[in-house]
Amino acid sequence: MKNLINPHIADLKPYSPGKPVQELERELGIAGAIKLASNENPLGPSPKALNAIKEALGEVHRYPDGGGFYLKQALAPKLGVKLENIVLGNGSDELIEIICRTFLNPGEQVISADCTFVEYELVAKSFGAKMLKVPLKGFTYDLEAILAEVDDNTKLVFIANPNNPTGTMVDRMAFDSFMKKIPPPVMVVMDEAYYEYMMREDFPDSISYMQQGRNIIILRTFSKIYGLAALRIGYGIARPELIDYMNRVRLPFNVNSLAQAAAIAALDDTEHLSHSQAVTRSGRQYLYSQFDKLGIDYVPSAANFILLDTKRNGSRVYNTMLKAGVIVRPMQVYGLPDYIRVTIGTEGENRRLVEALKRALK
């Protein structure tokens, strides 16, 4: 069988998304479980987005707009870019695959962190690339250490900002210094999936580098704060000539009509966006205060999730909390066996999280 398989993927371990909430409730004989494992918006999507989906249902027998014209029209002025600077994807996951398909050759090097979004490594290796993972420094991307590893064989550098699963942020000063030193032929991929949660003035202005003509691709998504994870829609921002090459390998009709309609409406609902940001800010402070009372070490987060050090087997803590109907994410796959990652939920969900965590730690 192995002779039939592409050797680049034969030894890869598939991404594990976890079981659906309903299946876990059935297996454990519980009800009312809450999912705080996937960094989703606990408020759900914008009401305007839901209405747009309903209105678009009557046209599902038609192929979607393959170029995403109207969504790009809505995005471009908000981003300060042109339509030709944008490529749409079936979530950021597909865009990562498109980037690797467009720019990577077998044997070339891809650099990222040793504790970051696992898709970078999975996709890069599937194209026969060499993956170099640089250790984090203080749970944050060590850009100077990454620069030290760049050589003539380096093609792509992936940076998740804020980083998943640590929630830490590379600030503007560090990124500006990095971009001054990175060799121009190297493509920098700045994954800003949690961009809308950022309220700090020192967040890097990654789009400015694209406007300077640099080799940079910025990734953003509607899966997180916009609450459209199930519809799978994200977008990339880059120089038009790079977007042109990416479109040559992008599958036609890759973003469905319902997703496009919902995304356009979500962009227009600034009230829902502001409310989601406020819920995250207040929830983060509440959880910090509770973790401090419990003596739990955590990594201060710039996103809508928090990484916790349980000081014991994180998978056991996860399983104990699971029986209480609170689903979090164990971090063993990231090389952090004592850690769990928790998504910031609603006020009620956060209280349940704290109570379940107390019991699990006993």
Interval 110-164: pLDDT, tens: 999 999 999 999 999 999 999 999 999 999 999 999 999 999 999 999 999 999 9
Interval 187-245: pLDDT, tens: 999 999 999 998 888 999 999 999 999 999 999 999 999 999 999 999 999 999 999 99
Query: CB of 339 within 8 A of CB of 314?
Result: yes
> How far is the C-alpha of 121 from the C-alpha of 156, rounded, in Å?
11
Check residue 262 and give its pLDDT.
98
> How far is the C-alpha of 306 from the C-alpha of 298, rounded, in Å?
7
Please report, rounded to a whole number, the percentage of residues in the chain having pLDDT higher than 90.
90
* 3-class secondary structure per residue, 274-286: HHHHHHHHHHHHH
- Of the candidates 44, 41, 117, the one whose C-alpha atom is nearest the C-alpha of residue 283 is 41
Contacts of residue 34, defined as CB under 8 A and 6 or more positions apart, other chains included, come to 325, 326, 327, 345, 349, 352, 353
> How far is the C-alpha of 18 from the C-alpha of 30, rounded, in Å?
17
Q: Predicted confidence band at 49 (pLDDT cuts at 50, 70, 90)?
A: very high
Q: What's the sign of the alpha-carbon dihedral 190, 194, 200, 205? A: positive
CATH 3.40.640.10 domain extents, the chain? 47-268
DSSP-derived pairing of the beta strands 305-309 and 130-134: unpaired
Residue 19 has pLDDT above 70, yes or no: no
CATH 3.90.1150.10 domain extents, the chain? 18-44+271-361
Residue recorded with tokens 């792509």:
156
- Of the candidates 115, 122, 168, 111, the one whose C-alpha atom is nearest the C-alpha of residue 144 is 111
Amino acid at 359: R
Please report, rounded to a whole number, the percentage of residues in the chain having pLDDT higher than 70.
98
Query: Which residues, listed in sequence order, are joined to residue 2 by a DSSP beta bridge?
Result: none
Task: Name the least confident of 3-12, 260-269, 337-346.
Answer: 3-12
Instruction: For residues 19-38, give the mean pLDDT.
Output: 84
Check residue 16 and give its pLDDT.
67
- Of the candidates 165, 120, 117, the one whose C-alpha atom is nearest the C-alpha of residue 139 is 165
The CATH class for the domain spanning 47-268 reads alpha beta
Q: Does domain 18-44+271-361 have CATH number 1.20.120.640?
A: no
> Cα dist. 85→190, 202, 215, 216 in Å?
15, 24, 13, 11
Query: CB of 88 within 8 A of CB of 71?
Result: yes
